[in-house]
């Protein structure tokens, strides 16, 4: 923009009250300008500065309920499952998977997302799919089958979302809850993409053997 305006670095630095050597390094990409410097340079150039947050794969902040549910799931696992918490992925998206379960007796790997609340179903499905795809792209997952597991806290609000979005959730997670829980406990093969439910009372979480009453989202 400076070159297009036919303006020298010295002139921009003078108007913006920025050291010219620093401005030169910024243009060369060897220095990181502060927001204040960018605003000053933009003003000198007659430009507007815009900073925007783009939704990616969800926040890394986890509440105490999610932590309790993760603990209950880990405690219920059969020894055949290796578990890794807070697994970062980078391509094609950046994000963190709550738990990654690897079946030491087979090719299955499960990317687990835990939610104590569920507000935007489509967004959750998109984030979970993108992160599972990124996990599958890692070299160490070559020749493994990466699946998705959604763990929901059993509350009136999440049950209502489950009822309203039953068809969408059923298409995204067709495996039966009971089969997924049995697989985690080592008594059944992994059923594919699935949703399981958990209760949290007084800080202690428990996995349910099947979906809550009135909830049916698995296809099989």
Question: pTM of the entire structure?
Answer: 0.76
Eight-state DSSP code of residue 152: E
Give all domains of the chain, ordered by start, each with its CATH number. 9-45 (no CATH), 64-207 (3.40.1350)
pLDDT value at position 220?
42
Mean pLDDT by 10 residues, the chain (220 residues): 92 96 95 95 94 74 86 97 94 90 96 92 93 94 95 95 91 95 96 96 92 69
For position 53, what pLDDT does the model report?
81
* Site of tokens 């979005």: 165
pLDDT of residue 61: 64
Tokens of 50: 């815009």
Identify each DSSP E strand in the chain by its residue range: 81-89, 95-103, 108-115, 145-153, 194-201, 204-207
Instruction: Identify the pLDDT of residue 60.
Output: 67
Q: What are phi and psi of 135, to 5 degrees?
A: -65, -45
Tally of CB atoms within 10 A around 124: 20
Report strand pairing: 204-207 vs 194-201.
antiparallel
> What letter would DSSP give residue 5?
T
- As a dihedral over the C-alpha atoms of residue 97, residue 129, residue 178, residue 79, rounded to 10 degrees, the angle is -40
Strand 145-153 relative to strand 204-207: parallel, antiparallel, unpaired? unpaired
């Amino acid at each position: 923009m400076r070159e297009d305006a036919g303006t020298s670095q010295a002139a921009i630095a003078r108007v913006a009250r920025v050291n010219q050597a620093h401005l030169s390094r910024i243009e060369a990409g060897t220095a990181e300008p502060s927001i204040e410097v960018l605003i000053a340079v933009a003003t000198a150039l007659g430009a507007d500065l815009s900073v925007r947050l783009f939704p990616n794969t969800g926040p890394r902040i986890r509440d105490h309920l999610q932590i309790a549910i993760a603990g209950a799931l880990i405690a219920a696992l059969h020894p055949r499952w290796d578990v890794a918490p807070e697994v970062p992925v980078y391509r094609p998206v950046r994000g963190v998977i709550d738990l990654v379960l690897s079946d030491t007796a087979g090719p299955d790997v499960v990317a687990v997302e835990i939610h104590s609340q569920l507000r935007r179903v489509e967004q959750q499905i998109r984030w979970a799919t993108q992160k599972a795809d990124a996990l599958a792209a890692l070299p160490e997952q070559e020749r493994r089958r990466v699946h998705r597991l959604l763990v929901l806290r059993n509350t009136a609000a999440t049950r209502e979302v489950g009822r309203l979005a039953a068809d969408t959730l059923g298409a995204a997670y067709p495996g039966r809850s009971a089969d997924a829980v049995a697989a985690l406990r080592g008594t059944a093969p992994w059923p594919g993409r699935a949703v399981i439910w958990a209760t949290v009372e007084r800080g202690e979480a428990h996995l349910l053997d099947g979906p809550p009453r009135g909830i049916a989202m698995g296809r099989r």
